[in-house]
Amino acid sequence: MGLLSLAIWLPVAFGVLLLGLGRDSQAGMVRWIALVGAILSFAVTIPLYTGFDAGTSAMQFVESLMWIERFNVRYHLGVDGISVWFVLLTAFITIIVVIAGWEVITERTNQYMGAFLILSGLMVGVFSALDGLLFYVFFEATLIPMYIIIGVWGGPRRVYAAFKFFLYTLLGSLLMLVALIYLYYKSNYSFDILTWHRLPLPLDAQMLLFGAFFMAFAVKVPMWPVHTWLPDAHVEAPTGGSVVLAAIMLKLGAYGFLRFSMPIAPDATRELDWLVIGLSLVAVVYIGLVALVQQDMKKLVAYSSVAHMGFVTLGFFLFNELGVSGAIVQMISHGFVSGAMFLCIGVLYDRMHSRQIGDYGGVVNTMPKFAAFALLFSMANAGLPGTAGFVGEWMVILGTVQVNFWLGAIAATALVFGASYTLWMYKRVYFGPVTNDNVRTLTDINAREFLMLAVLAVAVLWMGVYPKPFTDVMHHSVTDLLRHVAVSKLQ
């Protein structure tokens, strides 16, 4: 068992162990076991970075075993400069989520913590699978723990939100399964994704494959107009569910474009780039305007996520290194920033049991430490230079300007809208005099809350000030992907 297998199955094993501890009287022990499991799972991913050779685009830490011999299905794992970051991000966010639910979850604590650890392992499996069927199994299996998390620990409309989340993402993935089966037969009965990258497919077949993959991954991102499940899921999910949903699960769809759509159907990708760029710009501009009128903090940040992920899909289909690298950086930074934003909303909700912006005001007077953290994360969400939220968006805007100045100008309006809705929310919630007796009695963050916010604050500032380690690792994988798409077009 290699490092990637450990990164997948160690959290799953801890999750299954926690499911066996069935009494709430054991909640204290459950929390510590969950924390140990999350920390160990993160620890085994660190050598993936320290031992990574950034000078090559080849897959590294590869594991390959026969799984289903009759159909030539292999348990095939590996990471390159693109996927390695998401393995680390998944394990890192899982620690934050365990700490976030430490005092808040008092019922079925073992099932709550177990679901997140199992989900963490499955998501690592998505990012490291090199066998098409194995990818599909992990991709679909992630729906089950998140469905349970929303449906059991969510808000008043949790069952509706959980069903909507499950049906949207499941139906979107069914066409992908058809595409995988087609590729299996075209590649002489192989599910090897790297083999599929080299298949000489005619344009009409590529167009159909691109459409099938697009339906699966666009829903997961989510792209406009198939984004409507996300605000409902975020609003009803518990804080930890919103953090994982925004920080990791949205990235599964974006990652699918890089691993399947672009390298397997490169000619179709070139032919349909206008469609994806158009939908991405709609998400960036229109959804930014939608976020401006929200009265629920969670819904505002949920729409903000759709707009920020619009930058990701925009960057992918520019076909230049600035755009693609910027989009990947944006995916990582969005994991830190959006996760922190939802944690801040969770801190307030735990005290006030309200997410309505109008119910707050003057929080800085009673929670000054917390307000300082919230200000940093709000500035990062608005794309302030020096924070993680700026780097990826700026790279994508520069990449867009290289393709077309006016498209770049439209994309840049997102920074204006992002600043508008984020600062508007911060002003109404945190600034001004205390006008609400409930706000007047608020207590500032405790040591546990300070720790999880401080760790994310360090990550946001580190990535904003010094993004070089991230771009260096992904450089060769990105250039190799772009070369593959360009060469295919010339042929």
Q: Compute the average pLDDT of residues 113-142.
A: 91
Measured at the CA of 152, the angle between CA 147 and CA 158, to 5 degrees, comes to 75
pLDDT of residue 487: 62
pLDDT band, residue 490 (cuts 50/70/90): very low
pLDDT computed for residue 354 by the predictor: 83
d(CA 14, CA 414): 41
Structure tokens at 94: 């899982």
Residues paired with residue 192 on neighbouring β-strands, in sequence order: 131
pLDDT number for residue 118: 92
Residue-wise pLDDT tens digits, 382-434: 888 888 888 888 888 888 888 888 888 888 887 888 888 888 888 888 887 88
Taking residue 323's Cβ as centre, other Cβ atoms within 10 Å add up to 26
Show the tokens assigned to 340: 């922190």
Q: By C-alpha distance, which of 234, 201, 365 is closest to 303?
A: 234
Kindly report, residue by residue over 24-60, the tens digit of the pLDDT.
Answer: 667 778 888 889 999 999 999 999 888 888 888 888 8
pLDDT score recorded for residue 44: 92
Higher pLDDT, 26 or 302: 302
Q: For residue 441, give both structure tokens.
A: 């009695």
Residue 282 scores a pLDDT above 60: yes
pLDDT of residue 125: 92
Domain ranges for the chain, please list them.
Answer: 1-264, 272-491
What residue type is assigned to position 416 of the chain? Answer: V
The fraction of the chain above a pLDDT of 90, given in percent, is 13
pLDDT of residue 22: 67
Interhelix angle 83-100/27-43, nearest 10 degrees:
160
- Report yes or no: 477 and 327 within 8 Å, Cβ to Cβ: no
Reduced 3-state DSSP string for 212-240: HHHHHHHHHCCCCCCCCHHHHHHHHCCHH
pLDDT attached to residue 24? 66
Cα 317 off chain centre by:
19
491 pLDDT exceeds 70? no
Please tell me whether residue 446 adopts helix, strand or coil conformation.
Answer: coil
Per-chain mean pLDDT for the chain: 86
pTM to 2 decimals? 0.89
Question: Residues with Cβ < 8 Å from 237, sequence gap 6 or more?
Answer: 149, 150, 153, 154, 155, 158, 161, 245
Return the structure tokens found at 410. Answer: 């439209």
pLDDT of residue 173: 83
Tokens 């409930």 found at: 438
Helices 143-153 and 109-128, axial angle in degrees (round to 10): 150
Residue 127: pLDDT band (50, 70, 90) is very high
Q: Which residue in 136, 133, 86, 142 sits closest to 115, CA to CA? A: 142
pLDDT tens per residue across span 201-227: 888 888 999 988 888 888 888 888 877
CA distance 218 to 257: 9
